[in-house]
Amino acid sequence: MSILEQLNDRQKEAAACIDRHVRIIAGAGSGKTRVVTTRIAYLIDECHVYPNKILAITFTNKAAREMKERVENMLGPIARSVQISTIHSFCVRLLREDIRELGYPRNFTILDSEDQKSILKEIYKEKGIDTKVYSYPSMLGYISACKTVFVSPAQAQDAAQFEGQKIKAEVYGAYQKRLEDMYALDFDDLLLQAHRLLKESREIREKWQRRFTYIHVDEFQDVDELQYDIIRLLCAEHTKLCVVGDPDQTIYTWRGAKVDIILDFEKDFPDCRTVILNENYRSEEHILKGANAVIKNNRNRIDKDLYTSRQSSQRIIHFSAADEQNEPVWVAAKIKTLHHGGTAYRDIAVLYRSNYLSRGLEKALLSAHIPYRIYGGIRFYERAEIKDALSYLRLLGAKQEDDPKEMWKSLAVRRVLNVPKRGIGAKSIEQLEEQAKEENVNLYEVLSHPALSSAKAKKAIHQFVSVIEECRNQAANLSIDLLMKKVLEDSGYLQMLQEDNETDRMENIKELLNDMQQYIEDHPDAGLDEYLQEVALYTDNDVFEGSDVVQLMTVHAAKGLEFDCVFIYNLCEGIFPSERSISEGGNPALEEERRLIYVAMTRAKKQLFISDSMGYSFVLDKVKTPSRFVMEIPAELMEDVGAKPRNRFSDDTDLYRQGNFSSEKPYASANAQRSPMSSLFEGSSNAGKKRQKKGKLRKGDLVHHASFGDGVIIRLEDGLATIAFEQKFGVRKIMADHPSLTKK
């Protein structure tokens, strides 16, 4: 019996096509790994191709191991001669043989991430660079991005405009010089130097072309131009290339992947055959039909309808929350219900578009005592920028009479004294710590009279203390969120993030401010100290170590994974699809966002839940509406639950599009001429105003809220007032008898 008999008809066609180039369009869960491994076994066992003439390239070590195991299970030890490896491993093999052509020894050093960090540590020490300002991962990401687009250190320095960019370019130059002195290569260099050898040396190129008759490339939709060029350089006239991928799952364009590479494959290889694998073995029918309906709205794709024999009577559950506080609570409650029904926590995943969205989820899961872990990421309150912001905030608290020394302030000072970079070197900080130790006071106390010889450091310290004291003096008059905005802006922290183009970190800061606003609304009588105590409860929670935990992750991190039950969280327009991506990338970016939701939906095997929420988003700076992707799922596949039907945008938004409360108008302030960052985070406080008698509230009344300022009531229902505040705070639902609310 032929090895191919275990495959379905489409899979057989793909595996048996060995006389020409072949492009296999493999939909999610269609058994692509099975096809590739069976094809390799077929070539060896039935077509009598020498195993060492076959090359298979993957993009993860896990995929390479899985492919090796499957081929060996089918053929036995003979399969070990097949070269199955990541593209980086292949390039290492090539370089070990031929890198002397470039003046490197064969025993060149390959740097891992720890080696790279060690080199950066030396450079940072020499140049007085603070890791809190320029973390090792962000610096290595910058260097990698430069290398993959062939930008040299000199070119990076020429292109640098802001101080942060100049510092990064300078570090890049020093880093690369150290690598050259050590005859060392990092992971990006492995590809770059292998490509250089194949391209520049005809002799080396033809030698490697003779090695292989059949080349296979897995996850072909994720290749970038450099990787594709290496693959093409390995192909001679006699070589047959088989590529496997799904253009509908091209979601890494920010990493260099180009969907056009797989779409236009036949232009580079005109005699290729295209085989579409569209039978899905993972998801139930309603999930696939929903995913198909969404992805069909993309134009730049190869049409394929996934189908399955796995029938289901269940529909996709869509929950629309009245506000963003209720959305994570609903998700947590649903997870509890699933768990009580027999679903293990490890079989449940919550997917979201951006990391900052984990904040509300984490709080809700902790409150419900649901174990979870952030897959491939860091918990919200453990992120560097959140710790920085809270450290600034801790320095603004009132003097504690029962703790006169306040030694805890030393921790906060160490974290933010030179963030952003102020020219206060490690030596100066060391001297300050010695002074504090001698005087038996906290580190902040000695900043008023620093025993330093450096005039530059003294001046910087004076400016730092001035900012802190000015903000501390305003603490009684400003709400927590406005106080946070002020200290981050006055300290230069926000400007630092802007100049370094740290968009993700900015989003996290905005989400922290949103957290503060929610806390103010829920605890109108609480102050700064109470908020910091509450946050400590979340930052100090034990990490769940067990294996039976709910997985929280971005959609990008979820690619290649599958779960019985999947929640797609905060599916709101501007969040998913990302407003930033669309504004910067136009329709191609929108199509990638749609591919991203397609990937998210096809992670689910049995049940799919999607959720969104109404109300104002501080990150978006506008009232939220359901994502267009929700609207693209046919109604018959959905079961709508929650506050609002899915095909209705909020009626509230139609009631206040006039006057000063328009959601369409830009927010005007007296400080309109300040920096873009200032306008983004601008706020005003009405604290200290004399409270008016409330009286009976009616629709249309002007009211004042202690935290959100003036607004107009647009709806009254069951004691709950829906109020449109100025755009900065948007539409909020507040109990009509709330003590913070007064009639004007």
- Catalytic center residues: 32-33, 218-219, 249, 603
Question: What gap in Å lies between CA 704 and CA 104, rounded to an integer?
Answer: 72
**Region of residue 652 (left: phi > 0; alpha: psi -120 to 50; beta: else):** alpha
Distance from the Cα of residue 548 to its chain's centroid: 24
Collapsing DSSP to helix, strand or coil, 320 comes out as strand
Question: What gap in Å lies between CA 265 and CA 585, rounded to an integer?
Answer: 24
DSSP assignment of 493-541: HHHHHHHTT-HHHHHHHHHHHHHHHHHHHH-TT--HHHHHHHHHHHHTS
DSSP assignment of 529-593: HHHHHHHHHHHTSPPP-SSS-EEEEEHHHHTT--EEEEEE---BTBTTTBHHHHHHHHHHHHHHH
Distance from the Cα of residue 598 to its chain's centroid: 17
Q: Where are the beta strands (DSSP E) in 144-279?
A: 184-185, 214-217, 240-245, 273-277
Angle between the 32-45 and 9-16 helix axes, to the nearest 10 degrees? 50
Largest CA distance in the chain: 92
Question: What gap in Å lies between CA 146 and CA 188, rounded to an integer?
Answer: 10
Give the 3-state DSSP-derived string for 231-246, with helices as H, strands as E and coil as C.
HHHCCCCCCEEEEEEC
- Give the bridge partners for 705, in sequence order: 709, 741
Residue 121, both tokens: 């540590």
CB atoms within 10 A of CB 617: 21
Collapsing DSSP to helix, strand or coil, 99 comes out as helix
Question: What gap in Å lies between CA 86 and CA 67, rounded to an integer?
Answer: 11
- Give the bridge partners for 716, in sequence order: 721
Amino acid at 251: I
- Give the bridge partners for 604, in sequence order: 563
Amino acid at 100: R
Question: What gap in Å lies between CA 723 and CA 701, rounded to an integer?
Answer: 9
